[in-house]
Amino acid sequence: MKIGAENKKQLMWMTVLLVIAVPLSLYSFRNMFGDGGSHAVTTAAAPAAGAPKAGGTISVDSDPRLRTDILDQSRQVKLEPGRNIFDMQEQKIETTVASVRQAPNYHYGPDPPPPPPPPPPIPLKFYGFASKPGETKKIFLQQQSGEQRMFVAVQGEVVDRRYKVIQIQANSVVMEDMLTNNRQPLPLTPR
């Protein structure tokens, strides 16, 4: 059987990986099942459970045995309703008594101008409309201020040289004040 150039590279890599994998698997197998060698923990060398070290602190990770005395102490603690078992202490909320002051309103520069006043209402009343077949719809308007005058107008017509009829609807008319470009709907007024 002849081995080509590509197969030689693959065979070389496989051999290197096999040489690395065999000792690693033997090492892990030996540690998994334990051989009682140098990795065994001797209890004589470890300090007694709960005995303080030279610095005065108790080492938790020096003795791998279960500490049943700590478990018994935690079982004897009576839980109060509403107590958070994950907090070591209750948090104290300090009540501060302080006067409530309003921040001074510092205004620099001139006062802003007041908003413009709303446009005056259109002084016309809409009384109704009339339409004949084949003719445009006509509306009846009455002037509210000054002398009482009646106007008959169609859509697009100017009334009293100032108010233009924009739209005629069944219950209202939209009028525009041509001096202020203000549009207002005039509702149908009963007599």
Write down the pLDDT at residue 46.
46
**Domain annotation for the chain: domains and CATH numbers:** 124-187 (2.30.30)
Tens of pLDDT, residues 65-86: 888 998 898 888 777 777 676 7
| Measured CA angle at 11 (ends 10, 15), to 5 deg | 115
Would you place residue 18 in the very low, low, confident or very high pLDDT band (cuts 50, 70, 90)?
very high
What is the average per-residue pLDDT within 172-190?
A: 90
Q: Is the pLDDT of residue 145 over 70?
A: yes
**Could you tell me which residues come within 8 angstroms of residue 59 by beta carbon, excluding any fewer than 6 positions away?**
47, 53
Residue 176: Cβ within 10 Å count: 18
- Tokens for 183? 């549009």
Sequence-separated (6 or more) residues with CB below 8 Å from residue 121: 184
Region of poorest pLDDT, from 62-76, 91-105, 121-135 = 91-105
HSE of 135 in the Cβ direction (CA atoms, 13 Å)? 9
Contact 181, 166 (CB under 8 A): no
